[in-house]
Amino acid sequence: MADLELLAASGAETAARIAAGEVSADEVLDFWLERVAADQLNGYLWKADRESARAGVTADGGPLNGVPLAIKDIFCTEGVPTTAASKILGGYIPPYTATSVRKTMAAGMPMLGKTNMDEFAMGSSNENSAYGNCLNPWDRERVPGGSSGGSAAVVAGGLAPWSLGTDTGGSIRQPAGFCGIVGLKPTYGSISRFGMIAFASSLDQCGPLTRNVTDAALLLSVLQGRDEYDSTSVGIEGGIEAPAAERLDGLTFGVPRGLMREGIESGVLARFEETLIKIADLGGEIVDIELPHAGHAISAYYVLAPAEASTNLSRYDGVRYGLRASDDDLLSMYEVTREDGFGPEVKRRIMLGTYALSSGYYDAYYGRAQRVRTRIVEDFDKAFGRVDFVVTPTSPTVAFRLGEKTSDPWSMYLSDLFTVPMSLAGIPAISIPAGLAQPEGGGPELPVGFQIASPAFSEQKLLEASHALEAAIGFDGSAAFEGGIR
Amino acid sequence: MSTEYEAVIGLEIHVQLSTKTKMFCGCELSFGDDPNFHTCPICLAHPGVLPVPNARAVEYALQIGAALDCELAPVSTFDRKNYFYPDNPKAYQITQAVRPFAENGRLGEVRIHHAHLEEDAAKTIHTGGAGRIKGSDASLVDFNRGGTPLVEIVTEPDLRSGAQVREWGQLLRATIKQLGVSDVNMEEGSLRCDANISIRPVGSTELGTKTELKNMNSFRFIERGIDAEIARQTEVVAAGGEVVQETLHFDPSTGELHSLRSKEEAHDYRYLPEPDLVPIVPSQEMLDAAKASLPELPAARAARYEADGVSEQAALLLSFETDWAEYFEGVLAADGSLEPRVAANWVTGEFAAELRKQDDQPLAGSKVGPNDLAALIGLVTAKKISHGAGKTVLEEMVASGADAEAVVADKGLEQISDSGELEEIVIQAIEDNPKPSEQVRSGNEKAIGALVGAVMKATQGRADGGEVNRLLRQHLGL
């Protein structure tokens, strides 16, 4: 049994081995389920067995048949507990399955388990999970990032070959960067949101977390498409193919230096600058660009996202499902259920959003934030008139220590400084590993993410460029593969 | 001299659309099934679900907009209206608060401010207590109705009295019924009406503080409720007080008004553009289709009937009920020589009364078709039977479904056309009734009625009333 070969194999390589008969789908599933069972990262909130992993999965689903997948606990899965890492959904078992999960099942991909996350996807460290922190496989003293922390940690730590996550303001890209894997947030509308528990509906987007760019492309090709159950979904015209580019000739990469003035760790900046040189080596051109309003993105985001969240989370009222902490009378059912069921960060955002939407404050907060969002969209439109891609570090820092930022929400929010503008603009952005760097304050070296963004629905072009750059960087994440169970 | 006040009334009318499925999910809309039978993760607001608008509901809404002579918006959008209540599973209602699908319309003398699309709440039942949530033992929710497509029609404050509201409401109901997009049944709640009421001194153009009268289930109750509220406000103001903004409930059994909530208790709905839905952008074809699909609406139909000589009252009665209008036109089609005025009077008068008298029969199930009634009216018009005999024949027709000629022959009701025979009966009646005969002779013409009655009795209604009158007067020397 070629355990180590399976552990190091990408999703695409595993699929090829199954297709070639070198290994059976059963052997692959057993191999991964055994590792999932030994999870030391608290990466999974629910773990499948052979039977439940295959429930609803097409026996012969096509080219990715038999390659199992970890799924963020924000996706509803029929018959399988789904909590969004919240106590308020403790014991909730959905009666239906999210469109994106149905698609991976139809492609023959078993489900390894449901991964840990920040409660309702609100957080950048996974410390807001009601079911305990997920740990970073590179250094268990550190956070895996968030909100898709579990989905990133299990792929980096050898507990899944690949996974699904969601990204609202950086929730795929930032943990992918912190864990040394690839994370893609596609264009808003390219993948159905049906069955994805809503945080901020105008920003939420499903995407893959993978070992490499090719895997991200393969999963995206399965996930993308218009869904009759999501009227905001449109899909990607022409679909997605595995990328093959090796050069970046004729492509222009814009660097928004104005956004990168302060707060970036020196190690992160060093890997970023080196990557720019690699781009130039591959024939790409580097230019400075301005995104004049992107500096206001975090402020606008922390009005818009909580506003939407405050109404999205109102349905958790104890009436129909999930936690009902009191039934003395209607008001106490609402109040006690929500008091007991939501964690502090979720409550903070519900309060923020409720306030921002209150009569008399709407224009000053929500209205103004929407106008900032429009300006940011225009900034990117203008930039993409000059350049093919916008590049930044994925995060200003490498993975920080557990507890380091929990008492300072604003500093936590700033870890999404470079990812939020793309979310507000609805454009695709990918984080690929750019190497390792020592964190400020010392300690073992940790992964650094490099973010590339491109115009809406230009995922194929984004994946081609990322593929070429990935090969030039030559990052090897295998050092963490045993980090999940060691 | 005391100030005269006038009432200013605007209406908010909710119309449940009779689509096959709900507004934002595929659940069937059907009534009378077990509670919570027609539900799915979407209309129960499970985590992760999304709404998808019902295309037929949009089509129906546009037809309503067109029938109300509204400008149909090239782009309309949805918003979330947030409030917690068990009948509202998402804790927000999807509605159109900012850009409705139709604006600036008119029906009759009332301007329409706008009409918007939204979804209905579920049904709550509070057990024990007074049927209200406060003091009840338990509250049950039935989501079968939750998510029914609604069009809310908001008028300008153009109405002035309870009676006007009732009449206009009936026109609106008939208009929407004619479109076939709603059952518009107030008792079942497929048509619901709230009224905003204020008063002001006659001649003033300012609006007074308004109260809202909620959800009454018949236009008669609305009329009574509004009149009661106008009287209450007038009394308050006349006594030097001020009307307080509040929401009221009218109890038709006691005629009393109860306050449901005051302005301070009003919700802050925290409206938010619905991020899960893209704007409705009807194509030119859809807009054209909405206008082209309009049938002849009640107001136009009533005008046409009146132009044909039908009395105003009969014209309105016929126009407000499509099946009666169709019946009436069927009668005219069966016999082109009938005068519309006469036919309309038979349909809305004698025939409608006879159906009511005989177990309140519905028109649809009547054994008397338009052709049958046309035949009967033809016999009366041609003076083959008297008007009175016609009623007798109609009674039998409604009861047994027999045709007019057969009943006439069977009962021997042909009008007495032989003047000699009738003259003998008239002379006999004068002899048998000396007292009224003497009264008539001495100038009391009204007393002739008793003699006419006697003749009619003797002839079993087979005599022509005009001829009887003429002969009586001749023999009494008038």
CATH of the domain at A78: 3.90.1300.10
List of chain A residues whose C-beta atoms are within 8 Å of the C-beta of residue B84 = 314, 317, 334
Structure tokens at A140: 């268990």
**A190 and A56 in a common domain:** yes
**A299 and A245 in a common domain:** no
Computed on alpha carbons and rounded to an integer, the radius of gyration of chain B in Å comes to: 29
Q: Which amino acid, residue A5?
A: E
Using CB atoms, pick whichever of A92, A307, A314 lies closest to residue B91: A314
Q: Which amino acid, residue B229?
A: E
- Residue pairs between chains A and B whose CB atoms are closer than 8 Å: 101
Closest CA relative to residue B51, chosen from A77, A229, A235: A229
- The b/e string for B180-190 (b: 16+ C-beta within 10 A; e otherwise) is ebbbbebeebb
**A215 and A119 in a common domain:** yes
The pLDDT of residue A59: 87
Tell me if A99 sits within 8 A of A192, measured CB to CB. yes
A170 is a domain residue = yes
A427 is a domain residue = no
Q: How far apart are CA A336 and CA A327, in angstroms?
A: 9
List of chain B residues whose C-beta atoms are within 8 Å of the C-beta of residue A202 = 275
**A72 and A215 in a common domain:** yes
The pLDDT of residue B385: 86
A237 is a domain residue = yes
Four-point Cα dihedral A156, A157, A158, A163, nearest 10 = -50
Alpha-carbon dihedral sign for residues B125, B129, B130, B135: negative
The pLDDT of residue B244: 93
Residue B93 pairs in a beta bridge with B81
Instruction: Find the helix or strand (DSSP H, E) in which A448 lies.
Output: strand A446-453
**A334 and A187 in a common domain:** no
Query: Residue B32 in 3-state DSSP?
Result: coil
Q: How far apart are CA B18 and CA B184, in angstroms?
A: 9
Cβ distance A94 to B41 less than 8 Å, yes or no, reads yes
A460 is a domain residue = no
The pTM score is 0.88
**A82 and A140 in a common domain:** yes
Query: Residue B371 in 3-state DSSP?
Result: helix
End-to-end CA distance of chain B: 56
**A177 and A59 in a common domain:** yes
Using CB atoms, pick whichever of A74, A193, A334 lies closest to residue B84: A334
**A146 and A80 in a common domain:** yes
Cβ distance A311 to B133 less than 8 Å, yes or no, reads no
Q: For each of chain A's 486 residues, which pLDDT tens digit applies?
A: 446 689 999 999 999 999 999 999 999 999 999 999 999 999 999 999 999 999 999 988 899 999 999 999 999 999 999 999 999 999 999 999 999 999 999 999 999 999 999 999 999 999 999 999 999 999 999 999 999 999 999 999 999 999 999 999 999 999 999 999 999 999 999 999 999 999 999 999 999 999 999 999 999 999 999 999 999 999 999 999 999 999 999 999 999 999 998 889 999 999 999 999 999 999 999 999 999 999 999 999 999 999 999 999 999 999 999 999 988 888 999 999 999 999 999 999 999 999 999 988 999 999 999 999 999 999 999 999 999 999 999 999 999 999 998 888 888 888 899 999 999 999 999 999 999 999 998 889 999 999 999 999 999 999 999 999 999 999 999 999 998 887
How far, CA to CA in Å, does A2 sit from each of A31, B22, B194?
Answer: 10, 54, 74
The pLDDT of residue A153: 98
Structure tokens at B13: 């009318």
Closest CA relative to residue A117, chosen from A75, A149, A71: A149
HSE-CB at B335 with a 13 A cutoff on CA atoms is 21
The pLDDT of residue A304: 98
Tell me if B19 sits within 8 A of B57, measured CB to CB. yes
Q: Which residues of A are catalytic?
A: 72, 147, 171
Closest CA relative to residue B57, chosen from B231, B202, B232, B181: B181
Structure tokens at B75: 């782009």
Structure tokens at A61: 């689903």
Closest CA relative to residue A76, chosen from A88, A90, A92, A94: A94
Report helix angle B419-432 to B434-441, nearest 10.
100
Instruction: Find the helix or strand (DSSP H, E) in which A435 lies.
Output: strand A429-437
Q: Which residue has the tokens 């709230």?
A: B194
Residues contacting residue B18 through CB under 8 Å, at least 6 positions apart: B29, B60, B180, B181, B182, B183, B190
Structural domain ending residue among the three candidates A368, A399, A416:
A368
Query: Residue A432 in 3-state DSSP?
Result: strand
Q: Which amino acid, residue A25?
A: A
The pLDDT of residue B130: 66
Domain with A328, as residue range(s), is: 295-368
Tell me which DSSP letter residue A439 carries: P
Structural domain ending residue among the three candidates A333, A348, A368:
A368
Cβ distance A94 to B50 less than 8 Å, yes or no, reads no
Cβ distance A310 to B270 less than 8 Å, yes or no, reads yes
How far, CA to CA in Å, does B158 sit from each of A485, B109, B144, B198, B209?
Answer: 75, 8, 36, 12, 16
Q: For each of chain B's 478 residues, which pLDDT tens digit applies?
A: 468 999 999 999 999 999 999 999 999 998 889 999 999 999 999 999 999 999 999 999 999 999 999 999 999 999 999 999 999 999 999 999 999 999 999 998 999 999 999 999 999 988 876 667 777 788 899 999 999 999 999 999 999 999 999 999 999 999 999 999 999 999 889 999 999 999 999 999 999 999 999 877 899 999 999 999 999 999 999 999 999 999 999 998 898 999 988 877 778 999 999 999 999 999 999 999 999 989 889 989 999 999 999 999 899 889 888 789 999 999 999 999 999 999 999 999 999 999 999 988 889 888 999 999 999 999 999 888 888 889 989 999 999 988 888 888 888 778 776 778 888 888 888 888 888 888 888 888 888 888 888 888 888 778 887 888 888 888 888 7
Long-range contacts for B233-242 (Cβ within 8 Å, ≥24 apart)?
Answer: B233/B5, B233/B7, B233/B197, B233/B198, B233/B199, B233/B208, B234/B5, B234/B199, B237/B5, B237/B199, B237/B208, B238/B2, B238/B3, B242/B209
Q: How many angstroms separate the CA of residue B139 from the nearest CA in chain A?
A: 9
Computed on alpha carbons and rounded to an integer, the radius of gyration of chain A in Å comes to: 21
Tell me if A176 sits within 8 A of A193, measured CB to CB. no
Q: Enumerate domains of chain B plus CATH numbers.
A: 5-290 (no CATH), 298-411 (no CATH), 419-475 (1.10.10.410)
Cβ distance A315 to B141 less than 8 Å, yes or no, reads no
Using CB atoms, pick whichever of A230, A307, A316 lies closest to residue B272: A307
Four-point Cα dihedral B232, B238, B243, B247, nearest 10 = 10
Q: How far apart are CA B354 and CA A209, in angstroms?
A: 78
Q: How far apart are CA B248 and CA B229, in angstroms?
A: 9
* Domains identified in chain A, total number: 2
Query: Residue A85 in 3-state DSSP?
Result: coil
Structural domain ending residue among the three candidates A346, A368, A390:
A368
Cβ distance B52 to A334 less than 8 Å, yes or no, reads no
Q: Which residue has the tokens 């009937």?
A: B305
**A299 and A246 in a common domain:** no
List of chain B residues whose C-beta atoms are within 8 Å of the C-beta of residue A89 = 47
Using CB atoms, pick whichever of B51, B92, B141 lies closest to residue A314: B92
Within 10 Å of residue B264's Cβ, how many Cβ atoms?
7
Alpha-carbon dihedral sign for residues B402, B408, B409, B410: positive
A34 is a domain residue = yes
List of chain B residues whose C-beta atoms are within 8 Å of the C-beta of residue A88 = none
Report helix angle B370-381 to B404-411, nearest 10.
50
Q: How far apart are CA B256 and CA B332, in angstroms?
A: 47
Closest CA relative to residue B370, chosen from B411, B324, B413, B418: B324
Q: What angle do CA B388, B392, B397 make, to 5 degrees?
A: 135
A158 is a domain residue = yes
Q: How far apart are CA A283 and CA A279, in angstroms?
A: 7
Strands (E) located in A327-418: 389-393
Q: How far apart are CA B476 and CA B71, in angstroms?
A: 70
List of chain B residues whose C-beta atoms are within 8 Å of the C-beta of residue A75 = 48
**A243 and A301 in a common domain:** no
**Does the CB of B45 have a partner CB in chain A at under 8 Å?**
yes
**A198 and A325 in a common domain:** no
- For an interface test with B, the pick among A86, A117, A319 (most B C-beta atoms closer than 10 Å) comes out as A319
How far, CA to CA in Å, does A175 sit from each of A76, A129, A134, A169, B18?
Answer: 21, 15, 11, 12, 49
Using CB atoms, pick whichever of B82, B271, B277 lies closest to residue A231: B277
The pLDDT of residue A250: 97
Residue A165 pairs in a beta bridge with A207
**A246 and A136 in a common domain:** yes
Question: Phi/psi class of residue B184: alpha, beta or left (left: φ > 0; alpha: ψ in -120 to 50)?
Answer: left
Tell me if A457 sits within 8 A of A236, measured CB to CB. yes
Q: How far apart are CA A326 and CA A374, in angstroms?
A: 43
Cβ distance B275 to A202 less than 8 Å, yes or no, reads yes
Q: How far apart are CA A317 and CA A254, in angstroms?
A: 46
Instruction: Find the helix or strand (DSSP H, E) in which B198 lies.
Output: strand B191-201
Each residue's pLDDT tens digit, A217-270: 999 999 999 999 999 999 999 999 999 999 999 999 999 999 998 889 999 999
Structure tokens at B251: 């109890």
Q: Which residue has the tokens 């492509």?
A: A251
**Does the CB of B361 have a partner CB in chain A at under 8 Å?**
no
Query: What phi and psi values does residue B214 have, to the nearest 5 degrees?
Result: -95, 135
A159 is a domain residue = yes
The pLDDT of residue A460: 98
Helices (H), B240-293: 284-292
Report helix angle B312-320 to B322-334, nearest 10.
120
- For an interface test with A, the pick among B40, B44, B46 (most A C-beta atoms closer than 10 Å) comes out as B46
Q: How far apart are CA A139 and CA A442, in angstroms?
A: 12
Structure tokens at B206: 């300012």
A194 is a domain residue = yes
Q: Which amino acid, residue B12?
A: E
